[in-house]
Amino acid sequence: MKELKSLRKLVTELSKLPGIGEKSAQRLAYFILKRGTSYTQPLLQAIQSVENEINECPKCFSYTELAAECEICSDIKRDGSIYCVVEEPFDIMKIESAQAFQGYYHVLHGTISPLEGIQPEHLKIQELIQRIEASVTPVKEVILALDSDIEGDTTALYLTKLLSQKKIRTTRLAYGVPFGSDIDYIDKRTLGKAIENRMEL
């Protein structure tokens, strides 16, 4: 059988998804094709509504379905003296589920990675500094909830230098797990402990 052009297009797009290689993309494409409109219509709608209904919070840069600030940024009961810096919006959900943090979040949208050409100016670092400077409640501590890998360490070092100039204490999660671990894979009890036992930088 000759390769079908439209199927090839779908395989190409699917293989751009994280963790999906050429083979898995092919399997998924055939699955979608076989299921037909009963599957493709809801799938297309779900993809479209994610694009149309989700906005970036102008304060923390997480995602929200609200038109302005997200639920966490607009919650005045939270502690404005402590911030938690994360790599991706998904990390917030994970930390919230551990119920061990009451401050505000800030999403960097990545980590410094010279190898991939990601420099501090490509991340929401300047926005973090501006936000801290503009805060009505003086910010005393910033928890760096970054992955324990080279990029996470480089970013933590960069932020610690920057924040110490402003006399702000920086801490990092005490994982108790080996180097290279991703916070996505830590269960919420361990994550809660990692926040409680956070280490000074």
Footprint of Zn ion (CB under 5 A): 57, 59-60, 70, 73
In one-letter notation, the amino acid at residue 63 is: Y
**Which C-beta is closer to Zn ion: that of 61 or that of 175?**
61
Q: How far apart are CA 138 and CA 179, in angstroms?
A: 33
Q: Which is nearer to Zn ion, 4 or 68 (CB)?
A: 68
Provide, rounded to whole angstroms, the least separation between the CB of residue 90 and Zn ion: 14
Question: Is the four-CA dihedral 171, 70, 110, 119 of positive or negative sign?
Answer: negative
Eight-class DSSP state of 174: -
* Nearer Cβ to Zn ion (73/98): 73
CB of 64 to Zn ion, least distance (A): 7
The least distance separating Zn ion from the CB of residue 60, rounded to whole angstroms, comes to: 3
Residues 6+ apart with CB under 8 A from 25: 11, 12, 14, 15, 17
In whole angstroms, give the CA distance from residue 150 to residue 179: 9
Compare residues 73 and 168 and give the one whose CB is closer to Zn ion. 73
Rounded least distance, CB 105 to Zn ion, Å: 7
